[in-house]
Amino acid sequence: MASGGTAVAWSARRKGDDKSLVFKAYREPVAAAAVAEARRLRAVRHPAVVEVLDVGVVEWSELARPLRTPQEAAPERPDAGEEGTAAEAGSPPPDAPASGTPFVVTAFVPGIDLEQYLQRLPESRRDAAAAELLAQGLAALAHLHRRGLVHRDLHPGNLRVADAGGAPRLTLLDFDLSIPIGRTAPPGGRLGFIPPEQILGRAEPRSDLWALAAAVRWSLTRRDLLTNAPELPSAPSAWVPRLLASDPLPLGRVRPAGPASLARTLDRCLARDPSRRPASAREALSWLDPERAAREAPPDPWAFDPPFVGRGAELSRLAAWLDDPDPDRPFVACVVGPEASGRRRLVAEALRQATERALLAGRRPPRIAQYVVDQVEAGRTLLRGLLAEPAAPDCIALDATALGREAAAFAEQVAHVLRAAAELGPGGAPVTRAVLALPAPTPSVPGTERLELTPLSIDEIRTLL
Between the alpha carbon of residue 217 and those of residues 120, 128, 213, 282, 414, the distances in Å are 15, 13, 6, 19, 48
Asked if the model's pLDDT at residue 236 lies above 80, the reply is yes
What whole-number distance in Å separates Cα of residue 355 and Cα of residue 144? Answer: 28
* 205 φ/ψ angles, rounded to the nearest 5 degrees: -55, -40
Amino acid code (one letter) for 366: P
> Among 21, 235, 40, which residue's Cα sits nearest to residue 150?
40
Angle, CA of 173, 175 and 176, to the nearest 5°: 130
Query: pLDDT tier at 77 (50, 70, 90 boundaries)?
Result: very low
pTM: 0.69
CA R_g for the chain: 24
Closest CA to 205 of 138, 120, 134: 138
Residue 465 or 454, more confident: 454
Give the total residue count for the chain.
465
Q: In this predicted structure, what is the pLDDT of residue 406?
A: 93
Helix (H, G, I), strand (E, B) or coil at 201: coil
Task: Give exposure, 64-81, as e/b (b: 16+ Cβ within 10 Å).
Answer: eeebeeeeeeeeeeeeee
**Residue 422 C-alpha from the chain's centroid:** 31
Say how far residue 288 (Cα) sits from the centre of its chain. Answer: 26
Query: Would you state the pLDDT for residue 338?
Result: 87
Q: What is the mean pLDDT of the chain?
A: 84
Predicted pLDDT at 82: 38
pLDDT band at 465 (very low <50, low <70, confident <90, very high): low
> pLDDT tens digit string along 429-441?
677 899 999 998 8
- Cα dist from 346 to 185, 311, 319, whole Å: 17, 8, 10
Q: How far apart are CA 11 and CA 23, in angstroms?
A: 6
Average pLDDT over residues 335-354: 85
Task: Give kind and range of the element (H or E) at residue 117.
Answer: helix 114-120
C-alpha closest to that of 210 among 140, 288, 153: 153
pLDDT tier for residue 179 given thresholds of 50, 70 and 90: confident
Q: What phi and psi values does residue 343 have, to the nearest 5 degrees? A: -60, -50
- pLDDT for the residue 16: 85
Per-residue pLDDT for 299 more than 80? Answer: no
Which domains are delineated in the chain? 1-108 (3.30.200.20), 111-307 (1.10.510.10), 312-464 (3.40.50.300)
User: Helices 260-269 and 205-221 sit at what angle, rounded to 10 degrees?
Assistant: 130
Give percent of the chain with pLDDT exceeding 90.
39
Mean local confidence (pLDDT), 447-454: 89
Q: Is the pLDDT of residue 86 over 60?
A: no
Residue 79's pLDDT is 38
Residue predicted with more confidence, 212 or 66 = 212
Residue scoring higher pLDDT (155 or 463): 155
- Enter the DSSP assignment of 53: E
Residue-level pLDDT at 352: 81
Residues 6+ positions from 252 with CB-CB distance below 8 Å: 258, 260, 263, 267
Using alpha carbons, select from 288, 289, 269 the residue that is nearest to residue 279: 269
Tell whether the model's pLDDT for residue 65 goes beyond 70.
no
- For residues 27 and 128, the model is more confident at 128
Q: Are 172 and 151 in contact (CB under 8 A)?
A: yes
- Give 412-433 pLDDT, tens digit per residue: 999 999 988 888 876 656 778 9
> Would you say residue 456 has pLDDT above 50?
yes
Q: What is the pLDDT of residue 109?
A: 94
Confidence category of residue 133, pLDDT binned at 50, 70, 90: very high
Q: Who has greater pLDDT, 374 or 256?
A: 256
Question: Which of 186, 5, 26, 189 lies closest to 97, judged by CA?
Answer: 26
The CA distance from 383 to 373, in Å, is 10
Q: Which of 57, 13, 2 is nearest to 35 (CA)?
A: 57
